[in-house]
Amino acid sequence: MLLNIQTQSQVIIYAGCITQMFFVLLFSGLDNFLLTVMSYDWYVTICRPLLYTVIMNPQLCVLLVLTAWNVSALHSLLHTLMILQLSFCPHVEIPQFYYDLNKLVHLACSDTFLNVMVTYSAAVLLGGGPIAGIIYSYSKIVSSFCAISSAQRKYKAFSAYASHLSVVSLIFCTSMGVYLSAAATHSSQSSAAVSVIYTVVTPMLNAFIYSLRNKNAKRALKNSLWRKTLHGPIVLELTKFTNCRVQNISKVL
């Protein structure tokens, strides 16, 4: 998209289209799997806090990440090899600003029955599985929150994982909106507009959502914006932090 804006050209060669397809499918699948792993991590954190270090050991974390990478790579490689078996006309127009698997398959000149079957089967297995895992983890987390008697503790526990819930909601709601709007309206402009939210806006919001949950990031942002006027509060904050550490040390002693 950035290259098209710079060159004012909307042309992509066949090799570039196949390459883009591979990486779009790779990172889309990887994003879904990693969100599922994060939801499981939150489930263990909230529902099994005493066993967290035993369950989420470094070996399991490495295994989950490697599995997500391998499955996503095999999934994208499968679709790439199957697309290479299709034949296309010399000049094909895709009404989208990025590669769309379904639209490219429908534009092929050869038989696409096998491609369609593999696409829907992979969507059910690799899409339904992570969604089912996320829903199960969240249902257990919500039931744990409901068991908390104090309203203040409920709010504190919910705010701890609200950022992850926001990211999951943004990604899955916008991705479902892309395909539902495409199926309902058949308008290339409306489908492209929703796709911008899914592919551009949501990844940009991820950085803000996760960063603003970090107190150090908030402090650095505040200091950078008000560097010339907040020298006094910064010194007071550091002094307060030092006093807290001294008090904590004295309590331990």
pLDDT tens figures, 52-93: 999 999 999 999 999 999 999 999 999 999 999 888 877 777
Burial class (CB in 10 A: 0-12, 13-18, 19+), 25: buried
pLDDT at 73: 95
Residue 182: band (very low, low, confident or very high) from pLDDT cuts 50, 70, 90: low
Q: Is the pLDDT of residue 250 over 60?
A: no
pLDDT tens figures, 201-229: 777 776 776 666 666 666 776 777 676 45
- Is the pTM higher than 0.75? no
Asked whether the beta carbons of 199 and 98 are under 8 A apart, the reply is: yes
Percent of the chain with pLDDT over 90: 14
pLDDT tens figures, 120-168: 888 888 888 888 888 898 888 888 877 777 776 667 667 666 777 777 7
Q: Is the pLDDT of residue 252 over 50?
A: no
CA atoms within 13 A of residue 149's CA, in its CB half-sphere: 0
pLDDT at 58: 92
pLDDT at 253: 39
User: Which residue do the tokens 């970090």 mark?
Assistant: 214
pLDDT at 180: 59
* Rg of the chain in Å (alpha carbons): 24
Residue 226: φ, ψ to 5°: -120, 45
First to last CA, the chain: 60
